[in-house]
Amino acid sequence: MAAAGVSTTQLHPACRVRQEGFGLLFYDSRGPRLLFAATGNLLPQDYFETARSRDELPEGLSDSQKQTLKKFVDQLLQKGFLREQ
């Protein structure tokens, strides 16, 4: 969980995420819109079930994987699948 005073991101209430063979499938019921994310097994589906800081990523990732996933989280924010609190 993020420290007090730090902004967090969370899946938008109108959005759902599902684990698929290629990675994650995001569905936005406001559109409807789909986003196919070829994340493989880097991010589990339940990663998005709680509010997290942008830098809070799963353990055991390389620096390259962390940078890629941080960019991905930024893209999810820009597209409205995540929201910042």
Our CA dihedral for 64, 66, 68, 74, rounded to 10 degrees, sits at: -150
pLDDT of 59 > 50? The answer is yes
Give the pLDDT confidence score for residue 5 in this predicted structure: 60
Q: Residue 72 is part of which domain span?
A: 9-84
**Has residue 78 got a pLDDT over 50?**
yes
Residue type at 83? R
| Average per-residue pLDDT for the chain | 88
Whether the pTM exceeds 0.75: the reply is yes
Indicate whether 1 belongs to any domain: no
The count of domains in the chain is 1
The more confidently predicted of residues 32 and 64 is: 64
Residues β-bridged to residue 36: 25
Which sign does the torsion angle of CA 20, 22, 23, 26 carry? Answer: negative
Given a cut of 60, whether residue 2 has pLDDT beyond it is: no
**Looking at this protein, which amino acid is placed at residue 40?**
G
Is 62 a residue whose pLDDT tops 70? yes
